[in-house]
């Protein structure tokens, strides 16, 4: 017998439904007097790679956390045609590296195994398929040799690879990635780029916060620009691609500072 992490049953994707269909009127954090995001709509087709672009504090992380069901919001968010609580097994969230307590005494392999828990529930023990998924993710990120190392002994680039390996081990259909390329070495950046290309080939969906304007057209199908928690027009000549979002009427914004 096993007990799911969520009281909701896992649901199969609704045919032809977008990976994410969201209307976020307000979203923020408990204790904050003002919302971090206001008036954002988002429509991400299944299998697409979409970038959330903007400066620090623009609301990129807040949008990702709202879609992941990690923070309260006012509005409606559907994942593959269902409320996000019914699709947790289909969604893998990768936080910013600074949000993880790297002093916690756990090995890299155990960290990556955490990506399997949404399938296992509370009481079931990992089986052969779970260990195989973890081993494959470690191989893909080229950190198999670090499997038994404590996470606190990793470099910044190795930490980022370990987090992405955890997301891959979940074998989710939607990857929510918060700045995975921020402050990593060139080798890690190349490995992550290759992994994201492989994810696309498998038909999985990526919604990713990024600062890298130079790689948008090469790495993504569409981009949504944010500033001060609202959708803004892209800078002149910037990549847009697929139309994946807009501001709600009355919540339009105009930021003089270009997204970075």
* pLDDT of the chain, 260 residues: tens digit per residue: 344 445 445 667 788 899 999 999 999 998 888 899 999 999 999 999 999 999 988 999 999 999 999 999 999 999 999 887 777 778 999 999 989 999 999 999 999 999 998 888 767 899 999 999 999 999 999 999 999 999 999 999 999 999 999 999 999 999 999 999 887 888 888 888 888 888 888 999 999 999 888 889 988 999 999 999 999 999 899 999 999 999 887 766 666 544 44
Q: Set out the domains of the chain in order of their start, with CATH numbers.
A: 20-247 (3.40.50.300)
CA distance 28 to 61: 10
Q: What is the CA radius of gyration of the chain?
A: 18
Cβ(92)–Cβ(133) below 8 Å = no
Q: What is the pTM of this model?
A: 0.89
Q: Minimal CA–CA distance to 49: which of 19, 78, 76, 14?
A: 19
Structure tokens at 43: 């429509």
Strands of the sheet containing 230-231, edge to edge, are: 91-94, 174-178, 205-210, 49-53, 222-227, 230-231
């Amino acid at each position: 017998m096993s007990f799911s992490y969520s009281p909701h049953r896992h649901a199969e994707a609704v045919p032809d439904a977008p990976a994410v269909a969201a209307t976020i009127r307000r979203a923020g954090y408990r204790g904050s007097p003002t919302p971090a995001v206001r008036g954002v709509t988002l429509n991400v087709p299944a299998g697409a790679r979409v970038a959330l672009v903007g400066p620090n504090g623009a609301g990129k992380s807040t949008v990702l956390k709202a879609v992941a069901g990690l923070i309260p919001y006012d509005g409606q968010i559907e994942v593959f045609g269902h409320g996000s609580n019914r699709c947790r097994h289909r969604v893998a969230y990768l936080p910013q590296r600074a949000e993880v307590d790297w002093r916690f005494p756990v090995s890299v392999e155990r960290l990556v195994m955490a990506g399997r828990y949404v399938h296992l529930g509370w009481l079931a023990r990992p089986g052969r398929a779970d260990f195989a998924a973890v081993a494959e993710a470690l191989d893909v990120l080229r950190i198999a040799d670090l499997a038994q190392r404590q996470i606190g002994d990793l470099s910044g680039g190795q930490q980022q690879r370990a987090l992405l390996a955890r997301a891959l081990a979940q074998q989710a259909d939607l990857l929510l990635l918060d700045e995975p390329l921020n402050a990593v070495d060139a080798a890690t950046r190349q490995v992550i780029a290759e992994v994201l290309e492989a994810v696309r080939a498998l038909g999985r969906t990526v919604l990713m916060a990024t600062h890298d304007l130079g790689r948008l057209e090469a790495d993504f199908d569409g981009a949504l620009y944010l500033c001060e928690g609202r959708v803004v027009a892209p800078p002149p000549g910037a990549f847009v691609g697929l139309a994946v979002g807009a501001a709600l009427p009355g919540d339009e914004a105009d930021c003089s500072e270009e997204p970075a």
